[in-house]
Amino acid sequence: MAHLGELLAAAFQQDALTRWMIPDDRRRAELLPGFFRVFLDLSGAHDGVVTTPDGDAVMLHLPPDARPDEAALEAALDAALGPYAPAMRTIAALQAARHPAGPPHYTVSFGAVRAGRRQSGVMSGLLAGLLDRADREGVATYSEASSPGGEAALLRAGFARLGPDIVLPDDGPALRPMWRDPR
């Protein structure tokens, strides 16, 4: 799964959220693969890592019944991020305060497409597979967009904004909570 961590790191290298979390470009490039490995492991433990056959795109999600070990997750993020872990804890606390308590739902956490394959519809295909599953199960889907492109992809897939943005401190970027009811 190391190549998927590298793919996610490359896709999020210039994302406003990761730039806020790790402002130094060099350190961000060094730390993001380990950061994403934590989320790959978490999603993988719940059968929530979906890729294209060629590995050019990946999407991470958690099922409605996932109950991550918060202490283990925090320890893994501390190890991956070192001095930048407090920024991640700030983000996680703001997300937790706004994450819907119910009804049951899938949570899409991250998605990435290799440069050169972006805008080709591969991420839409991965997302459509999860949404088909959620629809069959009668379960909603939640995500938070960190970029206009991510928000546009979610809107095309039938998501709607869910309340106000989650705004990070110190004039930080915003996450846009998005929700899709089952169909």
Reported as a pLDDT band with limits 50, 70 and 90, residue 115 is confident
Question: Whole-number mean pLDDT of the chain?
Answer: 92
Report how far apart, in Å, the C-alpha atoms of 43 and of each of 132, 158, 174 are: 19, 23, 23
Stated pTM of the model: 0.93
Q: Residue 2 — very low, low, confident or very high, per pLDDT cuts 50/70/90?
A: confident
Percent above pLDDT 70 for the chain: 97
Tell me if the domain spanning 2-180 has CATH number 3.40.630.30. Answer: yes
The 10s digit of each residue's pLDDT in 80-100 is: 999 999 999 999 999 999 999
Residue 125 falls in which region: left (phi positive, over 0), alpha (psi -120 to 50) or beta = alpha
Model confidence at 122: pLDDT above 80: no
User: Which tens digits make up the pLDDT trace of 47-59?
Assistant: 999 998 888 899 9
- Here the tokens at position 94 are 């703001």
Per-residue model confidence as pLDDT tens digits over 158-168: 999 999 999 99
Q: How many angstroms separate the CA atoms of 166 and 174, rounded?
A: 5
Nearest to 105 by CA among 143, 58, 161: 143
Helices 25-44 & 70-81 angle (0-180, nearest 10):
150
- At residue 117, does pLDDT exceed 90? no
Write the DSSP assignment of 117-147 as a string of letters.
Answer: TTTSSHHHHHHHHHHHHHHHHT-EEEEEESS
The answer, yes or no, to whether residue 132 has pLDDT greater than 90, is: yes
pLDDT at residue 148, rounded to an integer: 86
